[in-house]
Structure 1
Amino acid sequence: MKSIVRIEYCPKCHWMLRAAYMAQELLTTFEEDIKSVTLEPSEVNGKFTISVNDNQVFDRKSYGGFAEIKEIKQLVRDIVNPEKTLGHSDRKPQ
């Protein structure tokens, strides 16, 4: 069963383009594993969260800012296809 990703973002903070970029990256990377990515404007100021199958995997406030796309991909991968390699994105900084 393919996963459903939801990105909830604050439109007042002008984070729609960031959400769209992340959606594009996730759909490209996980084209066989993701059924859809939904962009949802939040009614809560400053909110930016990512959920997979209704389980939150990222929250900007808890994280202390925005994560790099490679970190987001790792979080999503761990749920949608844990065996998938992300190539250079999987390498830890040395």
Structure 2
Amino acid sequence: MKPAIEIEYCPGCRWLLRAAWTAQELLTTFESELGAVTLRPSDASGTFHVSVDGQALWDRKAEGRFPEMKELKQRVRDHIAPQRHLGHSDRVERQDDVR
């Protein structure tokens, strides 16, 4: 069975669109590796939690911020398809590349 991602978000904070965009990005990137991406509204205020098959990959409260999509995709990749290259999302930025 293919892995499933769950994105739990705070509806009171109006984070449904962020959760939906995150789901879209993950489904687009990992369409052949994922079995499902589920959005789940949380009862706890301030929640934005991403897990794969119950294993936490990102927790906004623990990290102190939302994930950059690049880093979230890398964490998902490391968990479900470690051999996969993510193209430009794997590129390491050098200081002189940032403009």
Task: Specify if TM > 0.5.
Answer: yes
Deviation at residue 64 of structure 1 after TM alignment: 1.1
CA distance in 2 between partners of 1:63 and 1:75 (Å): 14
Specify the SS of the correspondent of 1:6. strand
Greater gyration radius: 2
TM-score normalized with structure 2 length = 0.92
Q: Give the aligned length.
A: 94
Q: What residue is the counterpart of 1:39 in the other structure?
A: 39
Deviation at residue 67 of structure 1 after TM alignment: 1.3
CA distance in 2 between partners of 1:91 and 1:62 (Å): 26
| Residues 29-80 of structure 1: CA deviation (Å, up to 9, x unaligned) | 0011000000000000001000001101100111111111111100101111
Corresponding letter in the other structure for 2:86: L
Instruction: Give ranges in structure 1 of 5+ residues lacking alignment.
Output: none
CA distance in 2 between partners of 1:61 and 1:93 (Å): 26
Q: What residue is the counterpart of 2:73 in the other structure?
A: 73
Q: Structure 1 residue runs of 4+, over 2 Å off? A: none
TM-score normalized with structure 1 length = 0.97
Q: What residue is the counterpart of 1:50 in the other structure?
A: 50
Q: What residue is the counterpart of 1:84 in the other structure?
A: 84
Q: What residue is the counterpart of 1:16 in the other structure?
A: 16
